[in-house]
Structure 1
Amino acid sequence: MAPNLQRQRGAIAIMVALALLVLLSLVGLIVDGGLAYMTKARLNAAVDSAALAAARAVTIGDNQAEQRASAQAAASRFFAANIPQGYLLSKPELLGTDVTFDGGMVTIDVRAEAPMPVSLMQMTGVKTMAPGASAQTIRRDLDMAFVVDTSGSLKDVQAQVRTSAKSFLNKFNVTQDRVSLIHFASGAEVDNAINHSARGFNRTSMLRKIDGFNFEGGTSSIEGMWHARSQLNSISAENRSTLRVIVFFSDGAPTSFGATVALKYPNDCPLVGKNKGAGVIDMTRNGLYRLDVSENILLDQRCTLANNPAVSLPAWYDAHNVDDDTAQREFRIVTSTPRVVTASISNGATLKDNVDRAARNLAEAAAAKARDEGIFVFTLGMGGSLRDRTGTDNEKGEDVLKCMANVADGPSRCFNPAKPVGMYCYAATEADLTPCFSRLASAILRIAK
């Protein structure tokens, strides 16, 4: 055989060998790289779920050490549940869950990797691959006013209301979140004021206050809303949290509101002052009741409103500024929209109509004002009566709650997508109450991330 031919055959053999090596390397890259890609995708999902679980669990505990431990334990559980050992021959490992507290912000960083062997790529000297993934969740600081209806219509389900309200509070962070507790019926009371000087809230005290609620009286929604907004706005602008929320629970349409009225016959109403007094006017009762007591407690002597020519409704909601006719001009009582309200309460029928309309107007107006200030309003309604058409204008009570929350399926006159859009949850029965509160809490925690 000619020497040139032998040399050509040798060169071809070398080229074929090199080509096979390159081909096998490419096949190995495709096979092993594909497995690594699928492992990394699964690892990313596991790390994301671990970070979210940690953000939810960081509320558990009475101090930062306990909260950090709760977050890390939740991250570990969810990571293991979402990528098992041996997945595509890998060995997933959670490298760390770092929890950083900064004022009212909590930052959670999760890191993981999944070392795995390679097959054909070993021919190139690569023995293993180690896909890695990381995720970060930032839980924003929160200021929240929690408003609970304690009217008499809830007396038969008061045990479930207490249980559900306490379960809701347990979902928030006692060292990072600021929370105020308010309850209302005929009047309203601030059970726990929001913390101005430091972050956190006294959950133990709030749970005890909820256990002591007395369910009696009417539904003066504006009083609960007024105090909720007042609590949030009492924090100086520079110290407010980035997320501000009102959570409002009720089982009925508003039936009353606070106002000051001029009285020519002060002897008929000795506890409200000489010539003018503030109190709650209820459409179902011809009298003036205490603003600062939630239960249906009459004054020593009921103030006669209807058939009293000296009495009329003020033009503006002024219940909390008895001595200053100009200080509180935020919410109109006498108005032509969205419901027509006149100043007259000259007889029982007129009083009922005007108070019914004004009570609904004021609850919606207070919620709209809160949204103007960047506050989210979440509402929860319970019971079939909310879906009955009642009142002067034959309206559904839950439509007021939907307007307050600014949700798309509420009355079109209320919805404004340019303002904070909250959430409305309907609990048909007491059994639906805790799930509804859980949905609201989850929604708040989602927008806090």
Structure 2
Amino acid sequence: MNTTIKNQKGAVLIIFALLLIVLLGFTALAVDVGRWYTTRSELSKSVDAGAIAGAKNISNPYLGEDGHLRLAEEVARENFSAGYLMTPDSGERSATFTAYADEDHRIRVEGTVSSPGNLAGLFGVDWVATSAMGVAKKNEVEIMLVLDRSGSMDGTPMNDLKKAARSFVSFFEETQDQDKMGLVSFATSVKVDVPLGNNYVSSMTSKINAMDAVGATNAEDSLSQAGNPAKGGLTDQSGVPGNKRVQQFVIFFSDGNPTAFRGKFKYNGTDNIDAVVCGTGNDCGTVYTKLGKPEREEWLSYNPRFTGDGKPKPPGTGTSKCTTRYGGSYVNTTKWYVLDDPDYRLTYRGTTYNSESCFIPTVGSSNTTAPLSTYICTTARGMAVEHAQELKDNNVKIYTIGLGNIDRDFLSQIASGPSFEFYAPTSGELQAIFNKIAKDIKLRLVQ
């Protein structure tokens, strides 16, 4: 009986040894499998990062031909360095990344690497191959460049603006068959130089080069036309489901505060004349003696200073009730319809003027303001902010770029938020700002 007991103790020892080997095997496998899964996860993050970098630089003019693919591979490689997580730092089993340009501007990055089977090698598992793939696509976009070409931009500022704007446009050259872009320039008049559309790089570059600096600052009409599809502006997406909308952006540049606005006027019995009125200087210290043509830097023979009912001068039936203060002579008066808009009332020294008020003061004394002159700037600014808000209410993102001593509070009201506001103390800094915005837009477009 004692012999039998000793034999049983020996069997338990053998069974324990066998179980210990199995337990060690499972432990080894758990350690190695955990590291394999971590390697797979980090490899996936790396190819995703590479694909996104390639997609947002798909048309970066500074990277050269297929430079965005090389950049995608480099970014992926930087996120999974040689020897990471005990993988080989060289040789055929080390991490490799390859980027491809697929259809619809998709960037695909494939990565492979082998992980060692350290403890698992006891069971003949020396290496485990791991692969991952990342894909990123640049979404479609509509962009309107809105550029100030007023007289204060003459000389170096205009040359630097042209250089910066051309650089911005070139960032989207390789995707101009998919992306849409348009150009609005403004001074006293507003021009849709290039309507929103595809294949725009050549035409926009030509129009940018042709810009001349002359006139006042009609910011409000520029924003109005940038958002008007009938004028060549951004597409109306009000009825489009959110997940199917194209991302839309306005890049608004100016070096001065609003001094002009567009409206309807009556003059010498002619109703609903479409014209631009403007003042001189950032504070509209005086009123220009004539109303301007909306599409050209020319002047109509209508004097906005002599306000009234817009009827012809006496004598005759249906003639104006208003006369000038200058020698008592009768004049053709200009009826400002905007004065009847509740949002743009003109009140001065307790008097509220309407569209048929005669002789609104245009020149103030040394200790008073010139109400009609000041009204031009105030109204021009208010209209610009109103049009910007209309764009933002339609999910359009607005970037603002201010040059010099521009009113930052005004640009803040135009922009879509602090991250969309940029300021350049000198025109030499414009190109860097325009390039930064181009890169930011591309980042927002990548999915």
TM-score, L = length of structure 2 = 0.76
Q: Which residue of 2 aligns with 1:287?
A: 290
Shift of 1:37: 4.6
1:247 and 2:251 matched: yes
* 1:64-213 alignment runs, 5 A limit: 69-87=66-84, 88-90=86-88, 91-94=94-97, 97=100, 99-101=102-104, 106-155=105-154, 156-172=156-172, 173-195=175-197, 200-213=198-211
Q: In the superposition, relative to structure 1, how do residues 426 and 371 fare at CA in structure 2: closer, same or farther (>3 Å)?
A: same
- 1:113 aligned partner, one-letter code: T
Q: Is the 8 A contact 1:333 1:341 kept in 2?
A: no
Q: Which residue of 2 aligns with 1:404?
A: 414
Shift of 1:445: 2.3
Q: Of 202, 214, 217, which residue of structure 1 is paired with 2:215? A: 217
- 2:20 aligned partner, one-letter code: A
Shift of 1:219: 0.9
Q: In the superposition, relative to structure 1, how do residues 60 and 440 fare at CA in structure 2: closer, same or farther (>3 Å)?
A: closer
State the distance in 1 between where 2:416 and 2:251 align.
13
For residues 290-341 of structure 1, give each alpha carbon's deviation from its aligned partner in whole angstroms, at most 9, with x where no partner exists.
2113xxx332x65322135421321389xxxxxxxxxxxxx9763489xx99
Q: Is the 8 A contact 2:56 2:445 kept in 1?
A: no
Q: Which residue of 2 aligns with 1:393?
A: none
Q: In the superposition, relative to structure 1, how do residues 286 and 33 fare at CA in structure 2: closer, same or farther (>3 Å)?
A: farther
Task: Tell which deviates more after alignment, 180-189 or 301-310.
Answer: 301-310
Q: In the superposition, relative to structure 1, how do residues 109 and 332 fare at CA in structure 2: closer, same or farther (>3 Å)?
A: farther
Q: Which residue of 1 aligns with 2:325?
A: none
Shift of 1:398: 1.9
Shift of 1:17: 4.2
Give 3-state SS (helix, strand or coil) of 2:303's partner. coil
Shift of 1:342: 5.9
Shift of 1:162: 1.2
CA RMSD of aligned residues (A): 3.2
Q: In the superposition, relative to structure 1, how do residues 182 and 51 fare at CA in structure 2: closer, same or farther (>3 Å)?
A: same
Q: Which residue of 1 aligns with 2:384?
A: 363
- 2:255 aligned partner, one-letter code: D
- 2:262 aligned partner, one-letter code: G
Q: Which residue of 2 aligns with 1:427?
A: 424
Q: Which residue of 2 aligns with 1:443?
A: 440
Shift of 1:250: 1.0
Q: In the superposition, relative to structure 1, how do residues 406 and 235 fare at CA in structure 2: closer, same or farther (>3 Å)?
A: closer
Q: Which runs of 5+ in 2 are unaligned?
A: 89-93, 281-287, 309-332, 363-369
For residues 169-227 of structure 1, give each alpha carbon's deviation from its aligned partner in whole angstroms, at most 9, with x where no partner exists.
122221211101111111111111112xxxx2320221122122112221110121121
Q: In the superposition, relative to structure 1, how do residues 316 and 191 fare at CA in structure 2: closer, same or farther (>3 Å)?
A: farther
Task: Tell which deviates more after alignment, 422-431 or 155-164.
Answer: 422-431
Q: Which residue of 2 aligns with 1:227?
A: 225
Q: Is the 8 A contact 2:196 2:234 kept in 1?
A: no
Q: Is the 8 A contact 1:333 1:362 kept in 2?
A: no
Q: Is the 8 A contact 1:184 1:224 kept in 2?
A: yes
For residues 2-43 of structure 1, give each alpha carbon's deviation from its aligned partner in whole angstroms, at most 9, with x where no partner exists.
35424532541342243044225414532x345435533432
Q: Which residue of 1 aligns with 2:283?
A: none
State the distance in 2 between where 1:86 and 1:60 align.
31
Task: Tell which deviates more after alignment, 151-160 or 70-79.
Answer: 70-79
Shift of 1:275: 5.6
Q: Which residue of 2 aligns with 1:18?
A: 19
Identity %: 21
1:347 and 2:350 matched: no
For residues 264-285 of structure 1, give each alpha carbon's deviation from its aligned partner in whole angstroms, at most 9, with x where no partner exists.
28xxxxxxxx565322111222
* 1:272-283 alignment runs, 5 A limit: 277-283=273-279
1:49 and 2:49 matched: yes
Q: Is the 8 A contact 2:56 2:443 kept in 1?
A: no
Aligned residue pairs total 384
Q: Which residue of 2 aligns with 1:323?
A: none
Q: In the superposition, relative to structure 1, how do residues 58 and 316 fare at CA in structure 2: closer, same or farther (>3 Å)?
A: farther
Q: Is the 8 A contact 2:138 2:445 kept in 1?
A: yes
Q: Is the 8 A contact 1:341 1:354 kept in 2?
A: no
Q: Is the 8 A contact 1:29 1:121 kept in 2?
A: no
Question: Radius of gyration: which is bigger?
Answer: 2
State the distance in 1 between where 2:217 and 2:138 align.
35
TM-score, L = length of structure 1 = 0.75
State the distance in 2 between where 1:125 and 1:427 align.
65
State the distance in 2 between where 1:146 and 1:73 align.
30
Shift of 1:60: 4.8
Shift of 1:116: 1.9
